[in-house]
Structure formats: structure tokens, C-alpha cells
Amino acid sequence: MRHTVSEIKLKNGAKGLLIHVPHASVMTFDINFRAGEYLVDPQKWEVPHLMEHVLLGANELIPRSRDFQAELEKNGAYSNATTGVYDITYEAECADFEWDRVLGLLLVAITKPLFLEEEFRAEFGNVQEEMAARSNNHFRRLSLEMRSRLGLIAKTDVERLELMSNVTVDDVRDHYARTHFAPNMRFVIAGNLTPARRKALTLLLDAIELPTDGKRLALPPEKPKRVSQPVYVANDTVENLYFYIDTFMKRRMSEVETDSLSLVNTMMTETLYSKILGTARERGLVYGMNSGLSHTRQASNWWFGAQVSDKNAAPLLKIIVDELHKVRAGDVSEEEIGITKQYALGRFQRSGQTVGGTASGYAGRYFFDGVIDNYYRIPERIKAITKPQIVDIADAMFADRLWGFGVLGNCGETFAHELQQQLIPLWQVKD
């Protein structure tokens, strides 16, 4: 989707991106605060999540949650909020003709919440139900357990449920006061942003009624560590086993390295003809598999995960080890690289077909570390990736020997240990 993007820095200390999509029929708003779980007492872990639920409710303009939601959504608009370890993001999407009304309501919710005790109690029950439902997601359960064991900031949903009773509405109010101030706010707004509309948006956001002292809160200094034993989560109700493999590098990747590893990742698992997933499916070993990249403030991560039967687990891990050894040894052809680049280019084009998709392409990185990706340079970045860059970054992800392996299921710790032994050669020092 054709667009232009510009960053604006407001007098009140907030800043964000305005993405002009000519003739767009909708507008999207993402308003972010560094206000996640890492900022609270671990015994009150659920404070940010509960605050996010209650904030989009009763406020000084409309003092009842259901009435506020009815007013915001009456013409088909959508609103939601998400809480993570680092951030809380409030979002809305609406028809172009009512952008100012919907944004105005969203800003009222953010700046004038009432945090009523009765609504806190109601949302307390809703969050309990949400956490209970999430705890049935076995991939999520294992991922959170592994994050915690690897030295990253995390708690499982079961732990979070146990800690919820420690949180009061006063904790919510206090967390709001400590995190919701203008210099800690970032935003991405996308739509048909004509010059007149840009001016109106700038005035509206600059006048937001939030404190103007302070600066953007810093990300936590997480340092991943090696987990020598497999993380085993016993679950007798699971017939297949779930596993994750995580490997870390002790620094953040450069742009070129990120592009190169992303291409390797695609080559490994992201298509039915990929080197790992394609080979495994050809042999009838696994239905699906995922892998991906992530970052902390000081480290880079590459992970692999799948659900597989006990009898197929060892053959699948052998494929993973063999294919990763091959790419690290340079055993990948220019033809394979070219095919993967074509797939990556097509996927990139598909990702930006909507206003919301275009906005999300900028928001993740911008909210994380303030970097504005040049959308129009991405195709040339993909095309510029070379075989030596692919080999170097794939190898570098194993050089620091920071890794962990986790299994959820009923296979037993002994079997999990046997599977882990298959993976050890990936991190052994080369001769």
C-alpha cells in the first residue's frame, strides 16, 4: 500500500509516526506506553494487565464501561489493548469519517480513567478467565516456563493466577500514575492524513492531558543464560509432546544480520518445501513447525518449536541438527537462496495490503527501540543478502553457547534428556 511516513515530536515530550495512506477509507491508532510487567513488584505481576482492562472503561466523560464501549463502537469502530512484559498498547480502528470522534474517546479513556472499584472487581474476574483459558495453550505454557529458566522476565499463567489476589485497585492507580506521562508515550497513526488532518492531529496530541515531566522508561537489562538440563513440564493429558529450542547471541544483531537470519529462518521452516519442515513432512514426521527471531535490549534469539509424537521426535530433531549444520557449513546453493528471496519479497508485499498492516509494520520496531524502518528499502535489503552473510549469522547464533531446550508432555524427563543430547553438537566449538 503506497504511503509516506514521518515522525513528529510533540512539545509535551511524546512522539510518534504519522503514516499517510492517500484515499484510505479507515484510520488506525496505536498508542503505546512503556508500562509492562517488568516495572512492578513480581508479587503484583498482574497490575499492568488489570490496569489495561480497567482503563478502557469508565472515565470522566462516560462513567460506565459498557456505555463507553457502546459509544466508541457505535459506527463499527474497533478498540482493544494489549499488555506485555515491556509495554501496554491501546489501539483503535475506525471509518475515516469518524476518526476525530474515535480518537477523542480513546484519548479520554487514556487520560481520564476513573478506575472504579466495582469495575476493577468485574475485570478481575474477566482476567482470571482469560488467564485460565491461556493456560490451556501448551506452546504458551512451555514458552513462558523456558523464558523464566533462560533468565528472561516471565511468569507462567498458573503463577499469574496465583498472584492476582495480591493486586488492589490502588496498585492499578499507582502504576498508571508512574507510567502514563507524555514523554513515555509513543504512537503510530495511519490513514488519509491530509495536511489539515495532520495539523489537527498534532494539536490534539500535543494538548493531551498527561504529565510532561520525565522521559521514556528504559527497557530492562535482561541477560539470557544457558540451561544445562532440559526444561520438562509434565502434562499427562497431552498425547504428543511439545518442544522449543532457543539459542541466543550476547548482542543485538545489525540490520543486515537480522535480514540475513530472517531469510535463513524462512529457508528452514516457513514453507512446506523448506529445508526442515519440508523434509519432515515429506517423511511423515510432523504436521507443522514454527521458528522465529526476537530481541531483548542486549541479546538476539532464534527459536524453533513444534508438536510431534514421541516416536517422531528424535527423527525430527535429527533433521533440525543436520539442516542447521549444512547451512552453517555453507551447504546451500545460490538457487535456493534466490527462491527464498522471491518468497520473502512476495510475503512482504502481502503484509502491507491494509492500513492496519502497514501501520503494524512500523509499530513493533518503533515502540521497541525508536527505529523507523524504511518500508521501501526492504525489497532491496532482501535482494542484497549474500550467502556469506547467511552463513556468518547462522553460525554466530550458536557461538556464545547460550541455549535451552524444553519439552511439555508425558514422555518423561529421561526421554527429554535424550532428545536434548541430540542437540548438543549445534553448540560445540568448531575445530
Domain spans in the chain, listed from the N-terminal domain onward: 4-206, 231-427
CB 337 within 8 A of CB 263: yes
Please check whether residue 100 is in contact with residue 198, taking contact to mean a CB–CB distance below 8 angstroms: no
Counting other chains too, the contacts that 194-199 makes at CB distance below 8 Å and 24 or more residues apart are 194/20, 197/99, 198/18, 198/20
Amino acid identity for residue 64 in this structure: R
Digit-by-digit pLDDT tens for the chain (431 residues) are 789 999 999 999 999 999 999 999 999 999 999 999 999 999 999 999 999 999 999 999 999 999 999 999 999 999 999 999 999 999 999 999 999 999 999 999 999 999 999 999 999 999 999 998 988 899 999 999 999 999 999 999 999 999 999 999 999 999 999 999 999 999 999 999 999 999 999 999 999 999 999 999 999 999 999 999 999 999 999 999 999 999 999 999 999 999 999 999 999 999 999 999 999 999 999 999 999 999 999 999 999 999 999 999 999 999 999 999 999 999 999 999 999 999 999 998 888 789 999 999 999 999 999 999 988 899 999 999 999 999 999 999 999 999 999 999 999 999 999 999 999 999 986 64
Q: Which superfamily is assigned to 4-206 in CATH?
A: Metalloenzyme, LuxS/M16 peptidase-like (3.30.830.10)
Residues 6 or more apart in contact with residue 49 via CB below 8 angstroms: 37, 83, 127
Domains 4-206 and 231-427 share a fold: yes
What pTM was estimated for this model as a whole?
0.94
What is the CATH number that goes with domain 231-427? 3.30.830.10
From the DSSP assignment, how many helices (H) and strands (E) are in the chain? 16, 11
Q: Report, in angstroms and rounded to the nearest whole number, the Rg of the chain calculated over CA atoms.
A: 23
> What whole-number distance in Å separates Cα of residue 171 and Cα of residue 306?
39
